[in-house]
Amino acid sequence: MEISTLATYHCLAFVWYFFVAYSITHVKTEERPSEVFLYGGQWKYLTVLNLVLQAVFYGVSFLADVLRLIKKLRCAKCIISTRDLLFSVLAFPVSTFVCISFWTLYTYNRELVYPKSLDAVIPFWLNHAMHTAVLPFALMEIFALPHRYPAKKKGLILLGFVAFLYISWVLWIYSVTGEWVYPLFALFSPPGLAAFFAGSLAIIISFYNFGEFLNRMIWGQSKFSS
């Protein structure tokens, strides 16, 4: 794909994610159901954090494209390395996890992750923008250009560290409010919750490996952007 085309795509994706993140963070307070949006606001939900992550990723990608267009190759190389690290370790596996885990649990029992009361607050299109469109965007990015993955150990350590930070945030919110971020967590005993978190981490690691596999299958071992 031509650099100018990539720049246009990444710019549009950045604007889209910025708009979606802006929309969800500006839901009127008086319209929110009392059982949601407590301590930590929307910033305790992985879905919302993922929107910000995607906006940052596409912003960095657009910057890399612009630097390549104006022939600032030394600066572009550094930004491209950041772009590839963001995509491989976070943007792809988190988007895939958000989409698949949300709709799996929603189909089983929506009250565990997305109470029906939210339908009166969050528009239908916004729900799909947050939970559905993120996966096609991630897949399109893999098909659009190759990404250099870090060494497996480094990538998994970084992914595990970010997962640890989010789990710590969830537990902190519970310790302060006595309420779980997702009603699902209340169903587990402490050992069961630990097993659930460990299983979720294993799933997101599998999505990391899947992204690496797709990248290698489509682009081969040696073709990387520079």
Alpha carbon distance 205, 69 (integer Å): 34
Query: Mean pLDDT lowest for which of 46-50, 54-58, 114-118, 163-167?
Result: 114-118
Q: How confident is the model at residue 136 (pLDDT cuts 50, 70, 90)?
A: very high
Residue whose tokens read 């682009």: 219
Residue-range domain boundaries for the chain = 3-219
**φ and ψ at residue 71, rounded to 5 degrees:** 65, 30
Q: Give 28's pLDDT tier (boundaries 50, 70, 90).
A: low
Q: What is the pTM of this model?
A: 0.91
Cα–Cα distance, 103 to 101 (Å, whole number): 6
pLDDT at 34 over 50: no
What is the average per-residue pLDDT within 101-116?
A: 92
pLDDT grade for 125, boundaries at 50, 70 and 90: very high
In this model, does residue 32 exceed pLDDT 70?
no
Write the single-letter amino acid at 139: L
When pLDDT is cut at 50, 70 and 90, the band that residue 225 belongs to is very low
Residue 90's φ and ψ, nearest 5 degrees, are -125, -55
As given in the structure block, the two tokens for residue 44 are 């305790």
**pLDDT for 3:** 86
Q: What is the mean pLDDT of residues 151-178?
A: 94
What letter would DSSP give residue 150? P
| Tokens, residue 49 | 């954090």
pLDDT-derived band of residue 27, with 50, 70 and 90 as boundaries? confident
The predicted-structure confidence for 53-87, as pLDDT tens digits, reads as follows 999 999 999 999 999 888 877 788 899 999 999 99
